[in-house]
């Protein structure tokens, strides 16, 4: 089906006969694939007798070589799949199969995309970025301390480079624009946490998604397209993301989060805000002061400064319903 979709992505009419000739299949086989595009991928196809078939709107598919070129020739292998349950999950399967890190995996859609704390991540076909990068870490997991914050900074810089100057950071791993979530980050580890391990960095960015997906998202959100008022070339954004990740990974491996802490704080959009920090059923009320050298959130609680860290913590504005 992906080969057929590539022929249709220009948004123009193509006859079934012409499509079948290029693909080397019958017109009935083309028809079955068109039905698959609609039923399996949710892609609307217009069918007009005498003119043929076209997509409801032109579509630009992800292209591994174009992404690599846009990244400044980053030396990580880049793979693109049409559909996966989760790019992070597929990374783990490929590691188990012997694929060597580092490498990058993107998907046009995810059927079981995940965010922090098991939350679902909305993943419509060919609209957003669903990207995972895996790198090998020698010397134990202490090197990945606060890496999610460093990755968030890289994502924010990539968005800013593509025109979203208002992109800012929310602890621990969300990127916001005007209070609305535009990106989330999920880090997972594989291997020996005391020695050699791999860290899988999953990044989801709302790129061209519009309001139709709001019913499955449980918080205010936005997309690059909504912010800029026009569609964004995902290959350009993906390349810029890899460029920024490579730069900030290098700083983090050398200096830890301390090397980017001041830069992270400059984009911290909730500093000075009254918040509720929840863990399980309990909540701590305080005012955000910032983050420390290890990436923990610093809160003023009952007149005293306290620091908190942990993967199961959730931070919300106190007036956030």
117 is in an annotated binding site: no
Crossing angle for the helix pair 147-161 and 234-255, to the nearest 10 degrees: 140
CB 139 within 8 A of CB 145: no
Question: Integer distance in angstroms from the first to the last C-alpha of the chain?
Answer: 43
Active site (annotated) includes residue 181: yes
- Helix, strand, or coil (residue 84): strand
State the catalytic residue, choosing from 116, 157, 170, 234. Answer: 116
115 is in an annotated binding site: yes
Alpha helix segments (H runs only) across 52-201: 64-70, 87-96, 147-161
119 is in an annotated binding site: no
181 is in an annotated binding site: yes
Token pair for 98: 């012997």
Asked whether the bond before 28 is cis by omega within 30 degrees of 0, the reply is no
State the catalytic residue, choosing from 54, 68, 181, 234. Answer: 181
Q: Which string of b and e fits 165-204 if b means at least 16 CB within 10 Å? A: eebbbbbbbbbbbeeebbbbbbbbeeeeeeeebbbbbbbb
Q: What is the DSSP string of 213-234?
A: GGGG-SS-B--HHHHHTS---H
Per the DSSP assignment, residues forming a β-bridge with 282 are 279
CB 182 within 8 A of CB 174: no
From CA 250, how far away is CA 262, in angstroms rounded?
Answer: 17
What number of residues does the chain have? 321
Asked whether the bond before 102 is cis by omega within 30 degrees of 0, the reply is yes
- Residue whose pair of structure tokens reads 């924010």 in the numeric block: 156
87 is in an annotated binding site: yes
86 is in an annotated binding site: yes
Chain-centroid distance, C-alpha 21: 37
Active site (annotated) includes residue 316: yes
Active site (annotated) includes residue 225: no
66 is in an annotated binding site: no
Binding residues for biotin, as ranges, are 86-88, 110, 114-116, 181
Binding residues, as ranges, are 86-88, 110, 114-116, 181
Name the residues annotated as catalytic.
116, 181, 316
């Amino acid at each position: 089906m992906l080969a057929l979709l590539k022929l249709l992505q220009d948004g123009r009419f193509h006859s079934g006969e012409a499509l079948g000739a290029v693909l080397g299949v019958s017109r009935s086989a083309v028809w079955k694939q068109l039905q698959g595009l609609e039923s399996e991928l949710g892609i609307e196809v217009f069918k007009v007798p005498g003119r043929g078939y076209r997509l409801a709107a032109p579509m630009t598919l992800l292209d591994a070589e174009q992404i690599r070129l846009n990244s400044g020739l980053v030396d990580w292998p880049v793979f693109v799949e049409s559909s996966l349950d989760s790019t992070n999950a597929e990374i783990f399967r490929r590691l188990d199969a012997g694929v060597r890190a580092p490498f990058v995996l993107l998907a046009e859609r995810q059927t079981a995309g995940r965010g922090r704390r098991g939350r679902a991540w909305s993943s419509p076909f060919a609209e957003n970025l669903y990207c995972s990068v895996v790198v090998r870490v020698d010397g134990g997991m202490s090197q990945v301390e606060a890496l999610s914050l460093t990755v968030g900074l890289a994502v924010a810089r990539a968005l800013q480079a593509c025109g979203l100057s208002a992109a800012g950071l929310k602890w621990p791993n969300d990127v916001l624009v005007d209070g609305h979530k535009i990106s989330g980050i999920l880090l997972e580890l594989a291997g020996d946490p005391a020695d050699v391990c791999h860290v899988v960095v999953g990044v989801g960015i709302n790129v061209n998604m519009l309001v139709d997906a709001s019913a499955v998202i449980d918080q205010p959100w936005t997309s690059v397209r909504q912010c800029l008022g026009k569609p964004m070339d995902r290959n350009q954004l993906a390349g810029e993301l890899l460029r920024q990740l490579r730069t900030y990974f290098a700083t983090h491996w050398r200096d830890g989060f301390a090397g980017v802490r001041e830069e992270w704080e400059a984009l911290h959009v909730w500093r000075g805000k009254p918040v509720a920090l929840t863990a399980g059923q309990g909540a701590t009320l305080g005012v955000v002061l910032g983050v420390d050298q290890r990436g923990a959130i610093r809160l003023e609680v009952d007149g005293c400064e306290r620091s908190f860290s942990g993967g199961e913590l959730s931070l919300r504005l106190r007036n956030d319903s």
